[in-house]
Structure 1
Amino acid sequence: MENNIALKEKKFNRMITVVSVVIPIVVALLFGIKIPNVEPLSILPPIYATINGLTAVLLVVAVWAIKNQRQVLHQNLMTINIGLSLIFLVMYILYHMTSDSTPYGGEGFVSYVYYFILITHIVLSIALIPLVLRTYAKAYLGRFEDHRVLARYTFPIWLYVAVTGVVVYLMISPYYAS
């Protein structure tokens, strides 16, 4: 039985590694593609910022749920969060394939804060892919102690990425083209 779980985990880890490499590469490549003759999807940034905010709230509720022995609620919330992350990713790609990037227009110290938040948000969102998938896989395979250990790192990073997604949107939203 334990050997079977180890084999499944090895298979999951290979898939997670591939997905964790492919997603950032595909996103980077798609940034270079603009869909011709399509209206910019300027409605998407506030929607995906809202998805980030909702993800942050649901992450906190999921932690509350597991600390209160509400395993099914925790599992459902985490599955919803992964789904929200996928929806965010699709919307983010669609927006950037139909719209030019918006330069940040702030000046002085605030621009340094913006770029620090943006860069850490981007770097951690890439690192988050394998963390979330491995954490989820551990629970799926019933390796709950390993899941708990990994979740202690995954949760604060995911929460940071979700919250800073909202902050980045709020800071850049005045500079979106009308």
Structure 2
Amino acid sequence: MKRAIAGILILSAAAIGFLFWIIYGVEAGNDSSQWAFLPATNALFNAISASAVITGLIFISKGNKRAHGISMGTALLASALFLVGYIIHHTVHGDTMFLTQGWLRPTYFFILITHIILSIVVLPLVLTTVFFAATRRWPAHRRIAKWTYPVWLYVSVTGVLVFVFLRHLNG
């Protein structure tokens, strides 16, 4: 088990390092018009992930383990698809500046910064929680899931909020 957790931490660190490289080390392409659908699609994947996490919580609270597993698998798939879409969008488009002033600006940056920090935290949490479920280590799964689900839910919901701020409130 210690090897698996170490592997999850190494994989998480490599994924996070890769994302930092994409964000800060790769110059974005020039023509991103063919990929203009990605921000909305990525927000949709975040919304699906959040909905699936909530649905999974409801199912497990009612003792429906199979439906819980399907819901959490859906949340994992939606989050993975978001990540792929985010990497593609950031590679071809780069950063989107938030230009709005006033009270919305600090609100946006608070949401964005907490979203980024917790997205780094959530990756190893999700992978560890899934590992414990896949290996049927239910007590360990339940212990870590109590930490994983609120962080995962926050990251998914704030991902949608970041999209709304950038697309609809950005002046």
Instruction: State TM-score, norm by structure 1.
Output: 0.88
Q: CA RMSD for the aligned pairs? A: 1.8
Query: Contact 1:103/1:175 (CA < 8 Å) preserved in 2?
Result: no
Letter in 2 for 1:144: W
1:101-137 Cα deviation digits (max 9, x unpaired): 1110211221001000000000000000111111111
Which runs of 4 or more aligned residues in structure 1 lie more than 4 Å from their structure 2 counterparts after TM superposition? 35-38
In structure 2, runs of 5+ residues without a counterpart are: none
Partner of 1:11: 3
Unaligned runs of 5+ in 1: 1-8
Q: Is the 8 A contact 2:22 2:87 kept in 1?
A: yes
* Equivalent residues, number: 169
- The alignment partner of 2:98 has SS state of coil
Aligned equivalents of 2:153, 2:29: Cα separation in 1: 36
> CA offsets, 1:65-95, max 9 Å, x none?
1111111111122122111111111100100
Aligned to 1:48: 42
Q: Which residues in structure 2 correspond to 1:18-167 (within 5 Å)?
A: 18-31=10-23, 32-34=25-27, 36=29, 38-40=31-33, 41-167=35-161
Higher radius of gyration, 1 or 2: 1
Answer yes or no: is the 8 Å Cα contact 2:39–2:89 preserved in 1.
Answer: yes
Secondary structure of 1:69's partner? Answer: coil
Query: Letter of the aligned partner of 1:89 in structure 2?
Result: L
